[in-house]
């Protein structure tokens, strides 16, 4: 009888599972150790309870998304454009206050004050900030 030559396979080092794989394997082992002593009826109840819990969490998530989507949004404030000053039409019928002597005197005094303010030189070369000494040493 002829012998069939066998293929030689080089021995390989088994791959270690990744970090996530190890966590998953540990969690599965813990879960199996918790449920191995349960009766089939209790295992079934535990499965339904987990499914119900996941379903409830999913339902709460959907309700939160719907509540956020239907919440009335605050209206966006859009400021009115600034009016552009320009040439205004001449006043044909001035009010009685426009020709009142007291109002005209106040307007004249205001224009005098504005002229004095515009002529006032507010710069003072003698006022300089003090020189600061940045050579500070802290000792105990």
- State the pLDDT confidence band at 2, using cuts at 50, 70 and 90: low
Residue-wise pLDDT tens digits, 32-61: 887 788 888 888 888 899 899 999 999 999
Residue-wise pLDDT tens digits, 64-97: 999 988 888 888 888 888 877 777 778 788 788 7
pLDDT for 1: 53
Q: Taking a C-beta distance cutoff of 8 angstroms, is the pair 38, 46 a contact?
A: yes
Q: Taking the CA of residue 21 as centre, how many other CA atoms within 13 Å lie in the half-sphere pointing to its CB?
A: 4
Q: Taking a C-beta distance cutoff of 8 angstroms, is the pair 24, 32 a contact?
A: no
Q: Cα 65–66–69 angle (5° rounding)?
A: 85
Question: Domain residue spans in the chain?
Answer: 39-72
d(CA 35, CA 41): 11
d(CA 109, CA 114): 9
């Amino acid at each position: 009888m002829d012998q069939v030559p066998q293929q030689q396979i080089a021995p390989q080092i088994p791959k270690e599972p990744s970090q996530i794989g190890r966590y998953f394997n540990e969690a599965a082992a813990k879960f199996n150790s918790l449920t191995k002593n349960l009766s089939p009826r209790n295992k079934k109840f535990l499965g339904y309870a987990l499914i119900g819990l996941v379903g409830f969490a999913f339902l709460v998530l959907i309700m939160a998304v719907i509540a956020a989507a239907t919440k009335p949004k605050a209206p966006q404030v859009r400021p009115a454009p600034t009016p552009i000053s320009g040439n205004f039409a001449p006043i044909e019928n001035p009010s009685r206050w426009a020709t009142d002597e007291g109002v005209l005197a106040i307007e004249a005094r205001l224009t005098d004050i504005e002229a004095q303010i515009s002529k006032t030189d507010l710069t003072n070369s003698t006022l300089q900030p003090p020189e600061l000494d940045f050579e500070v040493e802290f000792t105990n």
